[in-house]
Chains A and B, each alone.
Chain A
Amino acid sequence: MPTPLLEVRDLTVAFDTPRGQIRPVQNVSLSVYPGQTLAVVGESGCGKSVTALSILRLIPSPPGRVLGGQVLFNGKDLLQLSEKQMQSVRGKDIAMIFQEPMTSLNPVFTVGEQIVEAVQLHQNVGTRQAYEIAEQAMQDVGIADPHKRIHEYPHRLSGGMRQRVMIAMALSCRPKLLIADEPTTALDVTIQAQILELLRKLQEEKQMAVMLITHDLGVVAENADAVAVMYASKVVEYAAVNDLFDSPKHPYTEGLFRAMPRLGRPGGRLQTIAGAVPNPRRFPSGCKFHPRCPRMNGDALCTQKEPELREIATRHWASCHHIENFAAAPITPPTSDAIRKDAEAPA
């Protein structure tokens, strides 16, 4: 196994609020390898975005603070760097793109000025050369006629174009790691396909590592090498993408797969996960998933003891007390045969 480019170890983040402390990220460990994509999946409030922001130390403090853990980038702990050293990491070694291409660009500067600012911050180049780099970056992300577009203001561009500009800006300094926080959630499906294909292409060309934060399992399946599933501040399952989709071990992961309507499988009732995502102010005791868990049978273990993330199969981790008792029903991709059988089988 090569050494990871980014290794998050046991990270815990807290926010001090007037109504007490909350811990949206607890004991999270992740590794991202060079040239690979790690997807972090989970529903709103599971802590995936806070984890990403903590890596770049972008959590406002106060109220936020890192209670423990390490963020090792190339072996160096980012949490120990001075603010000034950190600034040279942000954008240069690790870049980030956000969900909202509408609000991430400054409306009163042209897109060129904004890319050039990022370039000159990290590279010792003159203005003319910076514009050349910016134009090349825009060309790389498939913006037609960059020579003209570089002087446009953000409001003149569509959502997909703005996200391309964000990616151009993020990639202009050739980062080793790109953190993409829901990069296509605000975009239409045909534009999403363009952006994801672009990211894959650029990743391959530049051998860049990507940490992809998303809630869309379809996007995960098509883009990730490894996946971390988060629920209520914790990583509950961690595996290579094929292992996770072939045989999910955690009941939450399993529930997510079942709850999702799929193309080619119309009609019928969806199997759902009962209840709602818990509020971080009132996380349940024991296993945080136990109030919604179909494996619960009144077992005191689940309500009292929080399960550890353990290696269930080779390089496949999950945190559940009952994995061995529930050999997961295989969730196979629907083939046309399976669909026909489904339709014939009595409900």
Chain B
Amino acid sequence: MSALLEVRDLKTYFPIRSGVLARTVGWVKAVDGVSFQIQPGKTLGLVGESGCGKTTVGRSILRLIPPTAGSVAFNRQDLLALRGEELRRIRRKMQIIFQDPVSSLNPRMRIGNIIGEPIEVHKIASGAEKRKMVASLLQRVGLDENDANKYPHEFSGGQRQRIGIARAIALSPDFIVCDEPVSALDVSIQGQILNLLADLRAERNIAYLFIAHNLAVVEHFSDDVAVMYLGRIVEKADARELYANPKHPYTIALLSAAPEPEPGRKRDRIVLGGEVPSPANPPSGCPFHPRCQLTREAAKGSGDPSALITFSPRGMTGSISLRVLDFGGAVEVESGGEKFPVLKKCVTEVPPLEAKDGKPGHTAACWVTK
């Protein structure tokens, strides 16, 4: 089966301008070499913290932000080479649902026009036929067909997100970027929207790029999951595999930091020191090395790098086997006001995204783990 969407080495840089002539003095590498595929009807979850570039990935794919380099193939057509009418035609098949259901709907437009506009722009239907389509879309997302005459402010957050979904599916797309679709919603509403998106996926064979920061939501909703850190994918695997058997120290830290609704359960939380560095000035080598527990532990006992390091995110205990490599010894780095040793290789060379544990579907970018 060929992939519906294939993203290769996508890079999106934003210039930093300074001075009276607004000369470019540097680049913010918001997305720095991201590759993935999505099969028809499947969902790739993209997780990461704010500023990691996950939203920019979604928008660059749709060319809402022009990518700097790389290729995006949709149905084997190179999206980045398309112009004018051809681009418009392919965009029908690719839609987006935004995080904020309040600011993503024009407050002066009636719901019927908001949902009907794409139908009209793409000359699919007009007049009574269009109204019929809008009515059936409204019903499909759980609203009333009479809601077409209302304005956005007359709806609650969850209902507005339903309107955004109706607009996105109006053109029968094959692919939808969902950019934090439930993070602005209350828990009781969040479940309703996730169920609706899952039903549409099953009914219409829609593929999703599901961008979110809530790990439990992503696990629940996705077939595959990619974890981003500072503009790069640091780990990617089948959802079950990634959550059961995380390989990248950042993924492990994220999982262990997520609070769980189980009082009294004691777990070894890995509290990461420091903060996400600025993408304008990323650390050398592995971008995660200033916050990485693994390289610190490994550097401490650098005499025997094959030692196992144990961890216990979310109550389960596991261990990571380390590989025997020439790490070039330990060097001292400073982060968050403290100094500690890390492996030299982590500071000098960027680790490639490579298969771990001999599983080709499970890749991670880390020098230390096996």
Contact = CB atoms under 8 A, between A and B. Distances in A.
A218 B259 contact: yes
Interface in A262-287: 262-274, 276-277
B139 interface: no
A193 B314 CA distance: 13
Nearest to A278: B156
Contacts of A342: none
B213 A222 contact: no
Given A221-B263, A222-B259, A277 B188 contact: yes
A188 interface: yes
Given A264-B314, A266-B239, A266-B240, A219 B187 contact: no
Contacts of A215: 186-187
Interface in A191-227: 191-194, 196-197, 215-222, 224
A222 B188 contact: no
A193 B264 CA distance: 16
A259 B191 CA distance: 6
B261 A221 contact: yes
Contacts of B269: 193, 197
Given A265-B220, A272-B192, A144 B336 contact: yes
B191 A276 contact: no
Interface residues of A, number: 53
Given A191-B49, A266-B220, 17 more contacts: A44-B186, A159-B50, A189-B254, A216-B259, A221-B260, A221-B261, A222-B263, A260-B187, A261-B191, A261-B220, A262-B220, A263-B243, A266-B240, A277-B156, A277-B186, A277-B188, A292-B188
Contacts of B16: none
Given A241-B263, A269-B195, A270-B191, A189 B220 contact: no
Interface stretch (B121-129, B270-278, B354-362): B270-278
Given A43-B188, A44-B186, A241-B263, A267 B220 contact: yes
5 contacts: A144-B337, A189-B257, A260-B216, A263-B216, A272-B188
Contacts of B158: 276
A238 interface: no
A273 B188 contact: yes
Contacts of B221: 261
A245 interface: yes
A153 interface: no
Contacts of A222: 259-260, 263
Interface string B322-341: 00000000000000111000
Interface of B: 49-50, 156-159, 186-192, 194-195, 198, 213-217, 219-221, 239-240, 243, 253-265, 269, 271-272, 275-276, 314, 316, 336-338
B261 A276 contact: no
A190 interface: yes
Contacts of A220: 261, 263
For the complex of A and B, 7 pairs with smallest distance between CB atoms: A144-B337, A218-B259, A261-B220, A43-B186, A270-B191, A188-B49, A193-B257
A176 B192 CA distance: 41
Given A144-B337, A188-B50, A276-B156, A263 B260 contact: yes
A218 B260 contact: yes
B243 A266 contact: yes
Contacts of B190: 259
Of listed B159, B187, B260, residue having the most chain A CB within 10 A: B187
B187 A160 contact: no
Interface in A55-79: none
Contacts of B157: 44
A158 interface: yes
